[in-house]
Amino acid sequence: MSDFEAIYQQYGKIVYSFLLSLSHEETLAEELTQETMFRAIMNIDSFRGDCRISVWLCQIAKNLYFEWAKKSKKLVPIDSETDHFDSGKDMTQELIDKDTAHKILTFLHGLDEPYKEVFSLHALGEVPLNQISRLFGKSDSWARVTYYRAKAMIISKLEEDENGKN
């Protein structure tokens, strides 16, 4: 049991932060972090060791989040009331930033795989591209190209949306 505690102590915050970036709900992120660790312990034999444990745990966490989203019919969290810090920006700028973030998440949700997953892991989960490449069993350049293509698609959609308003 001490091995489990050590894994939880070392990787719990990483998994929690990743889940919080996906869900934007502290309670949900905590619950899914616990479930992630439970599933990891129950399935430790399936860990092949070809990536870091943190990548493996984030993959489990991502799958759990998508399972939760599918069951609850929630695809992208819209509620941003979990923003607990005062950024010092004026209210107008904060609303613009929140609107832009919502648009990015909406466009991200519309991307095909593997673009959506690679972008989410790297941009939201802060998983390094070389770890993502190992997770997918692909080259480092594949992960870089996939990430930058996803980013370009989202930027293009944002520009289209902005030009549509003008």
> What pLDDT sits at residue 97?
64
3-state helix, strand, coil in the chain (%, to 5): 75, 0, 25
Q: How far is CA 28 from CA 33, 36, 83, 166, in A?
A: 8, 12, 15, 38
Instruction: Decide: pTM greater than 0.75.
Output: no
Instruction: Give the burial class of 46: count Cβ atoms within 10 A of its Cβ; 0-12 exposed, 13-18 middle, 19 or more buried.
Output: exposed
pLDDT, the chain, mean: 77
Angle between helices 129-136 and 140-165 (to 10 degrees): 110
Of 11 and 3, the structure prediction assigns the larger pLDDT to 11
In order of start, what are the domains of the chain with their CATH numbers?
A: 1-74 (1.10.1740.10), 89-166 (1.10.10.10)
* 59-81 confidence digits (pLDDT tens): 888 888 888 888 876 544 444 44
Q: How far apart are CA 24 and CA 4, in angstroms?
A: 26
